[in-house]
Amino acid sequence: MNNNDADEFPIRQLTLKEYPPLLREIPDRPKTLFIRGELPPADYKYLCVVGSRATSVYGRRVCQQLIAGLAGYPVAIVSGMALGIDSEAHKAAMDVGLPTVAVLPSSCDDESLYPATNKGVAQRILAQGGGLLSEYGEPHKAMIHDFPRRNRISAGMSLASLIIEAGEKSGTLITARLALDYNREVLAIPHELGRETGAGVNRLIREGATLVRSADDILQSLGIKPLDTPKQQPLPTDLSEPEMKVLHALTESLIRDELIEQAELSAQDANIALSSLLIRGLIVERLGKIERV
């Protein structure tokens, strides 16, 4: 980000009345809270989405699919802009037009922003009408004790926390514990047995966290009634031309050769596009045929 961005999105301190309503209720609410950008509309319900930094292909795919399923509903995605699932959650929200808020362990200024490698994500959040939140107004570099402090804000302002991936010793589990302390619902994605990235999440489910199978499960936990008829999910804004051609060709289930022919792509371009779309959870392959999700 540059000086023009700093001028366009200045940092300001929120009054207590401007705090997200649920955050005002927690006993250890922050004494000060600074924002760069904007909070979501007042009628939106906040969902905290967190997970491992060392995320898997499965974790990224599920994160994108579930958040895409929330498009069109009054839901805002809260996360910590860390590498891994946090960043995927912010990007997935922006891809489908949901507001998103990044709660930072650092202050919100360009020089202090943590992690520095995610400045592009921060810039996109601001440009799309979202916000960066921090307890710190003055330039403040993130330190170890700032991460659990950040987590209490994320959990405290959210109606529910969705845990995508977490190992047995993952810091993500701190957010889950805090959500329970604040009497908020903890949602969890089941993982393959034996995978370290899912061991902590599977334990949460065993201990009573709500198992999530689809976006409808999340909506019900937020007190939002899912639509009776499925709606077409909006396409992400960053698709390549071959990816768009593949999706437009999938008006019905097709075998790979039929799809390549209808999309009018070379085999190489089609295979690259298909691999990307599969990872992002926008298509699935069943019994030798490919279809849109």
Closest CA to 125 of 83, 91, 89, 154: 91
Integer CA distances (angstroms), 128 to 99, 100, 115, 228, 238, in order = 8, 9, 20, 29, 14
251 and 203 within one domain: no
| Same domain flag for 98 and 42 | yes
**Is the model's pLDDT at 230 over the cut of 60?**
no
Query: Per-residue pLDDT tens for 4-24?
Result: 555 688 999 999 999 999 999
Q: What pLDDT is stored for residue 284 in this prediction? A: 79
142 & 200 share domain: yes
Position 228 in a domain: no
Residue-range definition of the domain harbouring residue 89: 3-221
pLDDT at position 229 is: 54
226 within some domain: no
* Boundary (domain end) residue, out of 167, 191, 221: 221
209 in any annotated domain: yes
Residues 71 and 176 in one domain: yes
Task: Note whether residue 229 is domain-resident.
Answer: no
What is the domain-level CATH number for residue 274? 1.10.10.10
Other residues' Cβ atoms within 10 Å of the Cβ of residue 268: 9
Q: Check whether residue 47 and residue 147 sit in a common domain.
A: yes
pTM as predicted: 0.77
Beta strands 34-37 and 11-13 are antiparallel
- pLDDT tens digits along 169-179: 777 888 889 99
Quick one: pLDDT at residue 231? 52
Which percentage of the chain shows pLDDT scores above 90? 53
Question: Do 66 and 179 have their domain in common?
Answer: yes
18 domain-assigned: yes
Residues forming beta bridges with residue 284, ordered by sequence position: 291
Task: Give domain status of residue 235, yes or no.
Answer: no
Number of domains, the chain: 2
Same domain, 281 and 148: no
Selection from 221, 165, 172 nearest residue 45 by Cα: 221
The verdict on 141 and 173 lying in the same domain is yes
Same domain, 28 and 113: yes
Q: Within this chain, do residues 133 and 166 fall inside the same structural domain, yes or no? A: yes
Please check whether residues 251 and 200 belong to one and the same domain. Answer: no
Question: Is 245 found in the same domain as 181?
Answer: no
How far, in Å, CA of 60 to CA of 83, rounded? Answer: 12
> For the residues 56-75, what does the mean pLDDT come to?
90
Residue-wise pLDDT tens digits, 72-96: 899 999 999 999 899 999 999 998 8
In a domain, 72, yes or no: yes
What digits encode the pLDDT tens for the residues 90-129? 999 998 889 999 999 999 999 999 999 999 999 999 999 9
Question: In whole angstroms, what is the distance from residue 169 CA to residue 265 CA?
Answer: 46
- 70: domain CATH number is 3.40.50.450
